Amino acid sequence: MKKILQKVQSGVHLTESEMMTASEALFNEETDNGLIKEFLLALKEKGETADEIVGLVKVIRKHALQIDAPFENIMDNCGTGGDGSQSFNISTCSAFVIAGAGVPIAKHGNRSISSKTGSADVLEHLGVRLNFSQSEVSDLLAKNKIAFLFAPHVHPGIKKVMTARKELGVPTIFNLIGPLTNPVDLDTQIVGIYRREMLSTMAEALVRLGRKRGIVLSGAGHMDEASLEGENYLAVIDNGQINEITLKPEEVGLAPVSNEKIKGGDSIQNARILQSVLTGEKSVYRDTVLLNAGLALYAHGTASSMKEGIELAAKSIDSGSALERLNQLISFSKQKELA
C-alpha cells in the first residue's frame, strides 16, 4: 500500500490491478487510517482515471451483499450527488416512473450527504424499509419492477473507509463511484455527475464494468440530474460506443425552468413533492421527472428516442402505474415488518 501511495503521490496513474490491490487494503481493518486518508487525497490531487474507478468499484462490489438478479436488463438511475442544488429527490421519483413503464430498476441510494434529503430519507418517511435482504430484492424486482438498495446495508464492509472520508471532509473518489457500486449486475445505467470534466471518464468506466447501454450526464448548472434550466451534457453509451452530445429541454418538447424552481426541503416536503408527481399533478417537478425518466427509458432501449422516452414516462404517471410501484413497495415493507 505504501509503495502504491508513493506512486500516486508522484503523479503516476494506477493500473486497474494496482487499484484493486490498494482497494483491498482500504477494506483491511489493519490498514492505518492515516494511510487511507493520504491515499484518497493523493488520488484527488492527481485526478482519478477510468482504471482507478473500475478497480475500486470491482473490489467494493466483491465485498457487497451478493444479489442474484431474477432476469437481465435491470437498470439503475442513481447520481453522484454533491451538486449543491438542494433539488427535490429527482432520481428517486424518476425511478418509480421508470418502473411504471415496465423497466426493472434496482434503485441504489443513501441518506442525505450534500443535500437536505437523500433517497433513503424520503423513502423511509413514506414507509419503505431500508434493509431488504438479498432474496427480497430479487423478489421485488421480479414482482414490482423496483427495489431499493440502501448503500450502507448492501456495503457493510465500507465503514472503515467512511470514517476516513468523514475525517477528511473533502470530496474524494468515493464521491464519484457510489452509483457504480450497485451490487446487482446491471445491463443499463444512467448516472448524473456534477463534475462535468469526468463525463467521458465515467462513461468509459461504465463500459468497462459491462454496461451495454447507458447515459452519463451533467445537467445545466452542473446538476447531477438532467435539468430544464438549459444545456445538458450527455455521454451516450451503446454497445461499447460512447457519443457525447448536448440536450436542451426545448429539443424534447419541454419548457425551460430555472433550477431555483425545483428546490426541495426536508423529507416531509420532498415526500409530498414525490407523491404530487406520481399522482399526476402538473408542475415543474413533473416536467423535471419526465425529462430524467425519459432519458433513462431511452438509455435502456425501451424508447427509440428521448422524446418517446418522455412520452412513455408521462404515460407511466398518468396511468397510475408509477404510483402503484411506490404503493406496492410500501405494502411489501409493512408486510415484512408485521411478519
CB atoms closer than 10 angstroms to residue 291: 28
pLDDT one-digit tens code per residue, 227-274:
999 999 999 999 999 999 999 999 999 999 999 999 999 999 999 999
User: What pLDDT sits at residue 186?
Assistant: 95
Q: Sorting pLDDT into bands at 50, 70 and 90, what band is 68? A: confident
Is residue 92 part of an annotated ligand binding site?
Answer: yes
Q: Does pLDDT of 57 surpass 60?
A: yes
Whether 75-155+169-331 and 1-63 are alike in CATH topology: the answer is: no
Determine the average pLDDT of the residues in 79-104.
Answer: 93
pLDDT digits (tens, 9 = 90+) for 304-334: 999 999 999 999 999 999 999 999 999 999 9
Question: Binding residue per annotation — 119?
Answer: yes
Looking at residue 71, its pLDDT comes to 87
- Residue 165, annotated as binding a ligand: yes
Query: Is residue 267 marked as binding?
Result: no
Dist. CA 107–CA 96, nearest whole Å: 9
Helix (H, G, I), strand (E, B) or coil at 272: helix
91 is in an annotated binding site: yes
Is the predicted pLDDT of residue 115 greater than 80, yes or no? Answer: no
Q: What is the DSSP letter of 218?
A: E
Is 114 known to sit in a ligand binding site? Answer: yes
> Mean pLDDT over residues 25-44, rounded?
93
pLDDT in tens, 168-222: 888 899 989 999 999 999 999 999 999 999 999 999 999 999 999 999 999 999 9
- According to the annotation, is 94 in a ligand binding site? no
Question: Going by CATH, does the domain composed of 75-155+169-331 fall within 1.10.630.10?
Answer: no
Q: Is 225 annotated as a binding residue?
A: yes
Task: Show the CA angle centred on residue 287, arms to residues 88 and 235, nearest 5°.
Answer: 85
**111 labelled ligand-binding:** yes
Instruction: Give me the residue label for grid cell 471532509.
Output: 169
Domain residue limits, the chain: 1-63, 75-155+169-331
> Residue 75's beta-bridge partner residues?
105, 188
Annotated binding-site residue? 89: yes
> Environment class of residue 268 by beta-carbon count within 10 Å: exposed (0-12), middle (13-18) or buried (19+)?
exposed
- CATH tag, 1-63: 1.20.970.10
Give the three cell numbers for residue 187. Answer: 445491463
The answer for residues whose C-beta is within 8 angstroms of residue 228's C-beta and 6 or more apart is 220, 249, 254, 255, 256, 257, 262, 284, 287, 288, 291
Strand partners, 215: 190, 236
- 281-303 tens-digit pLDDT: 999 999 999 999 999 999 999 99
pLDDT of 114 reads 55
* Higher per-residue confidence, 113 vs 72: 72
Give the angle subtended at the CA of 253 by the CAs of 248 and 255, to the nearest 5°: 70
Q: pLDDT value at position 339?
A: 56
pLDDT recorded at residue 10: 97
**Residues contacting residue 3 through CB under 8 Å, at least 6 positions apart:** none
108 is in an annotated binding site: yes
d(CA 292, CA 227): 8
CA dist 217 → 65, 80, 268, 285, 297 (Å): 28, 11, 28, 19, 14
Q: Are residues 181 and 61 in contact, defined by beta-carbon separation less than 8 angstroms?
A: yes
Q: Is 113 annotated as a binding residue?
A: yes
Q: Is 10 annotated as a binding residue?
A: no
pLDDT of residue 132: 94
pLDDT interval class at 82 (50, 70, 90):
confident
Other C-beta atoms lying within 10 Å of the C-beta of residue 298: 24
